[in-house]
Amino acid sequence: MSTSQEKQGSCLCGAIQLSIILDDNSVAACHCGMCRQWAGGPTLMVHSAHPVRITAGTPRLFSSSDWAERAFCEQCGTHLYYRLKQGGFESVSVGVLEGDDWDFNLQVYVDSRPGFYCFANKTKEMTGAEVEAMFS
């Protein structure tokens, strides 16, 4: 897919409905310690420069660092999205979005990945330092 499209999503209980405009169907895994504690394992997210649009309900926001916040449903606990507070970078849990036509093509914070799992998918890989250099 090369043209941007709007994907719909919802939490497990349905209280939160959202949509996000995506430029492609790429999915990235994050192995950082905060994601693994937040989600119980590596997060699988889609990225967009467009803000998440909330169409029903009000997500709870957790300020997880000085620069980012994480949104979840306070009724069912579904992890919804991660975003930079300054804007311009939104990361939505792929599991909350409709469909499964995704291209898993990137893993980040690979140097934080613990030894007890690994993905067989052939993806691009970036260390935490490489990711942080991209944003600074």
Which stretches of the chain bind Zn ion, using CB under 5 A?
Answer: 11, 13, 15, 30, 32, 35, 73, 75-76
Q: How far is the CB of 2 from Zn ion (least distance, A)?
A: 27
Please name the residues in contact with 7: beta carbons below 8 A apart, sequence gap of 6 or more: 19, 20, 21, 22, 46, 97, 98, 99
Q: Given the complex with Zn ion, which of 11 and 94 has the nearer CB atom?
A: 11
CA 7 from chain centre, in angstroms, equals 14
Tell me the residue type at 71.
A
Q: Given the complex with Zn ion, which of 2 and 116 has the nearer CB atom?
A: 116
Q: Given the complex with Zn ion, which of 11 and 22 has the nearer CB atom?
A: 11
Q: Given the complex with Zn ion, which of 4 and 63 has the nearer CB atom?
A: 63
Q: How far is the CB of 34 from Zn ion (least distance, A)?
A: 6
Q: How far is the CB of 103 from Zn ion (least distance, A)?
A: 19
* Backbone φ, ψ for residue 104 (5° rounding): -80, 105
Q: How far is the CB of 85 from Zn ion (least distance, A)?
A: 16
Do 93 and 75 meet the contact criterion of CB atoms below 8 Å apart? no
Cβ neighbours around 35 below 10 Å, total: 24
